[in-house]
Structure 1
Amino acid sequence: MLASSRAFSGFSVDSTESVRDFYAGTLGLEVSEANGMLTLHLAGGGTVIVYPKGGAHQPASFTVLNFPVPEIESVVDALSAAGVVFEHYEGLPMQTDEKGIFRGGGPLIAWFKDPAGNIFSVIQD
């Protein structure tokens, strides 16, 4: 029934103004705006809707958006230089290194938060 639907994901922020520059300038995403919402245009044609919830916004406690990258070290270094702060987790099973990269099995991954507190990741292909 929905196999041909062009599905998209979405998540909330406290204010679209507080995140627009981060998504476009810091992360380098194509961002458009309509009806008070942002649309993130992702490589491969996917989109994500970002909608404001003001004082009702609660940051997601899970990763809402993953960015596969061919080489995580250089991307983490570049984002860090642009002001992105990577999450650091202590102890098993999520121990991250000094850069915030998890190397404990599976793909290399590093998590960071957007200005609204939502969790994003870069993950090595």
Structure 2
Amino acid sequence: MFEISGSFSSFSVDDVEKARDFYAGTLGFQAADALGGGLDLTLPGGGRVYAYPKSDHVPATHTVLNLVVPDIEAAVASLHELGIRTDHYPSTPEMPLDENGILRDPNAPEGFGMAWFKDPAGNVISVLAQP
């Protein structure tokens, strides 16, 4: 078997400077120029993501990044204060959402919550509280 010495995730963006402003300026991640004109993002907790430019970028229709937070209500309120709109998906029995678009799964442990928003390129990001 081959030896794995590290790992990181990646996703495309349509405008690297808008991505830098959002991820570094708005969310506070560390951002450094990377090969291929992209950005190396260092997330709280030390995870890494490579955001690469793609001229024919199509936003992901699934969650590309999950941000763990201690308090889902406070995180959603902070996003709204930053001018970031959380997505309001239709609430269903399988995916019950409250009025702020926060998933409140009755089968999850107490304190769990999850909400979604998009980056400037339209990629889906979540904030989630895990007890």
Aligned partner of 1:69 in structure 2 is: 69
Does residue 120 (structure 1) correspond to residue 128 (structure 2)? The answer is no
- State the distance in 2 between where 1:91 and 1:41 align: 33
Aligned with 1:108 (options 113, 123, 129) = 113
| Structure 2 unaligned spans of 5+ | none
- State the distance in 2 between where 1:3 and 1:89 align: 41
Offset of residue 45 of structure 1: 2.1
- What is the TM-score when the length of structure 1 is the normalising length? 0.90
The alignment of Structure 1 onto Structure 2 pairs a total of residues equal to 124
Aligned partner of 2:99 in structure 1 is: 98
Percentage of identical aligned residues: 51
Work out whether residues 88 and 97 of structure 1, in 8 Å CA contact, stay in contact via their aligned partners in 2.
no
Aligned partner of 2:41 in structure 1 is: 40
- State the distance in 1 between where 2:68 and 2:4 align: 25
Offset of residue 94 of structure 1: 2.6
Offset of residue 44 of structure 1: 2.7
